Structure 1
Amino acid sequence: MATLLPTVPYWVFCVSEPVSLVAGLAIAILDPEQFVASQLPNTELTQLSPSNKLIAWQTGNLFGIMGMMGIAILFATTEVVVVKRYLVALLLGDIGHLTAVWWVMGSYEFFAPHRWSGFTWGNVGITALLALVRIGTLVGLFGPIRPQPSTVVKVKSK
Structure 2
Amino acid sequence: MARAVPLWPFLLFGVIEPALLVWAYVLILQDPRKFYVNQVPHSALADAGFPPQAKLLVLLLGNVYLLLAPLAIICIWTPHRSVATYYLMAVGLGDLGHIYATYQVCGEAFWDLTLWNDMMWGNVGVSAFFHLNRWATLLGLFGRLGR
The bucket for the TM-score relative to the shorter chain is over 0.9
Q: CA contact under 8 A between 1:80 and 1:145: conserved in structure 2? A: yes
| Identity value in percent | 34
Which of these residues, 69, 72, 85, is aligned with residue 70 of structure 1?
72
Distance 1:62 1:45 in 2: 27
Summarize deviations over 1:98-150 as a string: whole Å, max 9, x none: 111111111x2112223210111001100010000001001011111115xxx
Closer, same or farther in 2 for the Cα pair 1:45/1:81, shift >3 Å?
Answer: farther
Distance 1:113 1:15 in 2: 28
1:134 aligned partner: 134
Distance 1:79 1:55 in 2: 35
Query: AA paired with 2:20?
Result: S
1:156 aligned partner: none
- SS state at 1:12 partner: helix
1:154 aligned partner: none
Q: CA RMSD in A?
A: 1.4
Distance 2:142 2:73 in 1: 20
Query: AA paired with 1:74?
Result: I
Distance 1:10 1:88 in 2: 15
Q: CA contact under 8 A between 1:34 and 1:45: conserved in structure 2? A: no
Q: Is 1:55 aligned to 2:65, yes or no?
A: no
Whichever of the two has the greater Rg, that structure is 1
Alignment TM-score, normalising by the size of structure 1: 0.86
- SS state at 2:5 partner: coil
Q: Give the superposition deviation at 1:19.
A: 0.9
Closer, same or farther in 2 for the Cα pair 1:78/1:50, shift >3 Å?
Answer: same
Which sections of structure 2, spanning at least 5 residues, go unmatched? none
Distance 2:52 2:127 in 1: 28
Q: CA contact under 8 A between 2:2 and 2:79: conserved in structure 1? A: no
2:5 aligned partner: 5
Which sections of structure 1, spanning at least 5 residues, go unmatched? 148-158
1:16 aligned partner: 16
